[in-house]
């Protein structure tokens, strides 16, 4: 109540309290009963109207017809006029008008004191008048500042004046309030901007308020308010959601704030970006996804974690089909994924699959999915779904370039491959815009500042999603945006499962590795053969490398650069050539002309070397070694020492990638495209 209203009420009370006792009591009674007199006055007016109508039209049949039509018309008009009010008030008003006009019509034709009309008037009129008095008492006895007036005041404070609130739906820890903005004055964008002020007015965190816009209107929608954070206590991993079933069944990885399951429909998501700052629970979410994947029967899991060497995933590595835990293996995996896409896509095409489906992983006994031209069942072994997960991918992107995953993301959908890129900050400096646009799904954990815009669509942020409010203070809190997930849930906070403290997590991982070893078959032949051809030893020795088996020692660098290079070349010389000087100029072959006196210039020699490297890498396993160039040294006009130094320079410039084996390099996609 405003100060002006308080002053008026105080003056009125003073007037009531002045004068004699009798007059004071009469004034008080009149003051208290006056607001409830209108229904009784209307009731008296109905009797007067019925009496007057009887004197005018008693016994007139046409008057009866006219009064009946007028009664029906007034009742319909009352129902129509009440469409903007609540359903109870609308119904109450229509019943009152129908009863009053019906009695007047009967009284006009028969007389107000005929038959049961007097009793109906006294009982019905009094009951209707009292019903309106009761309604008024219930309305005026509500606490001050509540109801529509309080709502109106709150909306005015937050800049949404004249906004209409519809029927409020109250559920346990959840309030849904439909709204309608004034036409031509406000839009749903204004509602999104007002969320922080609404949260302040209600004294709740901004993440407790979401807005669900009506897709068919720019000024309608509903507020969803969750006053209590039900995610404060982490939920322990409850076990696999669909053990032994297909990866086509969504993966359960956590819970929403209303207690419902947080599920990731992987085949709908296609490719996914996982983003969150250090300590936000990003790795815990990755473990939840891995727990689900490694309990399914038709999915192959490839993990690259060069940044931390698979530190968090080691207990699960034995169940994975390929774990690349160093830079060389991770680079090889990225190149392999890109290379096998057309091979897998061709297999699906030849077996009449427009996209991967669970039947593609089984033995092909259906003639409708046969690669034979005669239409009979081919009996080919199936093709597993492939998930290539690149953990802490920022390091790999720095080494291989920001366009590393662009081709994979744009082409892998038709090949039954899901690409997952996990990193702390997917800015344009680390992940190209084209690659980010090709990752339609996102799991966004706590971030700093405006970083959420790198992972979440603008409309989700406008609806109230705010992972920056958590930072790394709410471990495991996440927003999931993906095809196959209800869009109304995009702005709803969720929390991934907790896999338990150290010791319990290892036990759960060991149980998954042993329990589902028989469920998960070996990597399908199509993918394995292609990977072996592309990655070579990096793939065939993947188990040993993941287990930490010793790798070939790199040559020691001592003395001058020429001496170090000579030692590297010597390490690559075959046993049968050990007696020859590997650094000497190549003599002219017997029976052939000697080398020309004028050797190619350094620029020409480098161009020839580039051409040879591209040629060898394209026809081989994707790698090239110094010793592979021995047959071409005469054409280049240089010796092995020079070739070794030039290839090392190309690696430093980012055109080749070291593989971890002395003198062996991998051709990067950028150079291959050239």
Which whole number is the average pLDDT over 493-501? Answer: 92
* pLDDT for 266 beyond 70: yes
Closest CA to 469 of 277, 283, 285: 277
Q: How many Å apart are CA 156 and CA 165, to the nearest integer? A: 13
The phi-psi region of residue 299 (left if phi > 0; otherwise alpha if psi is between -120 and 50; otherwise beta) is: beta
- Please report the pLDDT score of residue 141 as a whole number: 52
User: String of b and e for 17-55 (b: at least 16 CB within 10 Å)?
Assistant: eeeeeeeeeebeeeeeeeeeeebbeebeebbebbbebbe
High-pLDDT (> 70) share of the chain, %: 83
Query: For residue 124, what are the contacts with CB-CB under 8 A and spacing of at least 6?
Result: 99, 103
* pLDDT for 579 beyond 70: no
Question: Six-digit token pair at 270?
Answer: 């296609």
Q: Minimum mean pLDDT among 91-105, 409-423, 552-566: which range?
A: 552-566
Which residue matches tokens 């992983």? 361
Question: Six-digit token pair at 190?
Answer: 């204004």
Question: Six-digit token pair at 458?
Answer: 């603008």
Maximal C-alpha separation, the chain: 143
Q: How many Å apart are CA 502 and CA 519, to the nearest integer? A: 26
How far CA 674 is from CA of 533, 647, 655, in Å, comes to: 21, 17, 11
Q: How many Å apart are CA 58 and CA 111, to the nearest integer? A: 7
Q: How many Å apart are CA 596 and CA 615, to the nearest integer? A: 25
Question: Six-digit token pair at 337?
Answer: 């994924």
Q: Which CATH number fits domain 561-673: 3.40.50, 1.10.10, 3.30.1950, 1.10.3470?
A: 1.10.10
CATH T-level fold of 147-225: 3.30.980
The string of pLDDT tens digits covering residues 169-214 is 888 778 888 998 988 888 888 888 888 888 888 888 888 888 888 8
The answer to whether 221 and 213 have CB atoms below 8 angstroms apart is yes
Domain 254-546 annotated CATH 2.40.110.10: no
Query: Measured in Å, how far apart are the chain's first and last C-alpha atoms?
Result: 77
Question: Six-digit token pair at 81?
Answer: 């006029």
How far CA 490 is from CA of 277, 432, 548, in Å, comes to: 20, 24, 41
Q: What angle do CA 80, 81, 86 make, to 5 degrees?
A: 95
Q: Spell out the domain ranges in the chain.
A: 17-140, 147-225, 254-546, 561-673
* pLDDT for 592 beyond 70: no
Rounded to the nearest 10 degrees, the angle between the axes of helix 561-571 and helix 640-652 is 100
Question: Six-digit token pair at 530?
Answer: 């292609």
The string of pLDDT tens digits covering residues 75-119 is 888 888 877 677 788 888 888 888 888 888 888 878 888 888 888
Question: Six-digit token pair at 520?
Answer: 């998960």
Rounded to the nearest 10 degrees, the angle between the axes of helix 87-110 and helix 61-81 is 170
Which pLDDT band holds residue 573 (cuts at 50, 70, 90)? very low
* pLDDT for 9 beyond 60: no
The answer to whether 519 and 629 have CB atoms below 8 angstroms apart is no
High-pLDDT (> 90) share of the chain, %: 31
The phi-psi region of residue 147 (left if phi > 0; otherwise alpha if psi is between -120 and 50; otherwise beta) is: left
């Amino acid at each position: 109540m405003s100060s002006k209203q308080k002053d008026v009420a105080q003056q009125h009370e003073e007037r009531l309290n002045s004068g004699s006792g009798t007059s004071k009591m009469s004034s008080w009674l009149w003051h208290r009963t006056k607001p409830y007199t209108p229904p009784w006055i209307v009731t008296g007016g109905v009797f007067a109207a019925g009496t007057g109508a009887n004197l005018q039209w008693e016994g007139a049949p046409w008057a009866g017809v006219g009064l009946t039509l007028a009664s029906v018309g007034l009742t319909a008009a009352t129902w129509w006029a009440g469409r903007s009010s609540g359903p109870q008030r609308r119904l109450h008003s229509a019943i009152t008008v129908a009863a009053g006009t019906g009695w007047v019509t009967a009284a006009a034709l028969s007389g107000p004191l005929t038959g049961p009309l007097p009793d109906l008037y006294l009982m019905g009129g009094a009951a209707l008048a009292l019903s309106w008095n009761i309604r008024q008492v219930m309305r005026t006895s509500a606490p001050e500042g509540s109801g529509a007036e309080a709502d109106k005041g709150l909306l005015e404070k937050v800049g949404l004046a004249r906004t209409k609130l519809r029927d409020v739906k109250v559920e346990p820890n959840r309030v849904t309030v439909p709204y309608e903005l004034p036409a031509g004055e406000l839009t749903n964008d204004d509602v999104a901007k007002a969320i922080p002020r609404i949260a302040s007015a209600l004294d709740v965190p901004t993440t407790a308020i979401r807005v669900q816009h009506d897709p068919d209107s720019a000024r309608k929608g509903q507020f969803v308010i969750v006053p209590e954070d039900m995610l404060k206590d982490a939920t322990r991993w409850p076990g696999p959601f669909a053990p032994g079933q297909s990866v086509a069944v969504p993966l359960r990885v956590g819970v929403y704030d209303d207690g419902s399951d947080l599920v990731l429909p992987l085949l709908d998501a296609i490719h996914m970006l996982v983003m969150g700052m250090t300590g936000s629970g990003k790795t815990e979410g990755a473990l939840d996804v891995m727990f689900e994947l490694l309990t399914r029967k038709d999915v192959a899991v490839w993990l690259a974690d060069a940044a931390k060497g698979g530190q968090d995933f080691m207990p699960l590595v034995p169940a994975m089909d390929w774990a690349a835990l160093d830079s060389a293996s991770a680079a090889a995996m990225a190149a392999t994924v890109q290379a096998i896409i057309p091979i897998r896509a061709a297999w699906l095409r030849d077996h009449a699959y427009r996209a991967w489906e669970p039947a593609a992983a089984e033995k092909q006994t259906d003639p409708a999915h046969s690669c034979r031209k005669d239409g009979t069942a081919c009996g080919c072994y199936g093709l597993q779904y492939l998930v290539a997960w690149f953990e802490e991918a920022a390091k790999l992107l720095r080494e291989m370039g920001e366009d590393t995953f662009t081709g994979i993301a744009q082409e892998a959908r038709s090949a039954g491959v899901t690409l997952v890129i996990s990193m702390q900050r997917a800015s344009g400096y680390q992940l190209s815009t084209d690659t980010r646009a090709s990752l339609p799904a996102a799991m966004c954990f706590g971030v700093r500042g405006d970083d959420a815009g790198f992972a979440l669509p603008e409309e989700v942020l406008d609806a109230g999603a705010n992972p920056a409010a958590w930072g790394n203070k709410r471990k495991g809190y996440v927003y999931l945006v993906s095809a196959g997930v209800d869009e109304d849930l995009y702005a709803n906070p969720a929390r991934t499962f907790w896999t338990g403290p150290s010791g319990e997590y290892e036990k759960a991982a060991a149980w998954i590795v042993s329990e589902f070893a028989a469920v998960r078959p070996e990597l399908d032949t199509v993918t394995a053969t292609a990977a072996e051809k592309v990655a070579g030893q990096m793939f065939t020795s993947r188990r040993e490398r993941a287990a930490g088996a010793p790798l070939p020692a790199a040559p020691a660098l001592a003395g001058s650069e020429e001496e170090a290079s000579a030692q590297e070349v010597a390490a690559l010389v075959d046993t049968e050539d050990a007696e020859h000087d590997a650094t000497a100029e190549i003599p002219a072959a017997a029976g052939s002309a000697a080398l020309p006196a004028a050797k190619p210039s350094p620029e020409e020699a480098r161009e020839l070397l580039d051409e040879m490297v591209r040629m060898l890498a394209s026809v081989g396993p994707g790698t090239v070694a110094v010793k592979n160039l021995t047959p071409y040294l005469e054409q280049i006009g240089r010796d092995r020492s020079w070739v070794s130094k030039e290839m090392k320079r190309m690696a430093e410039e980012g055109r080749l990638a070291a593989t971890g084996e002395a003198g062996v390099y991998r051709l990067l996609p950028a150079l291959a495209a050239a």
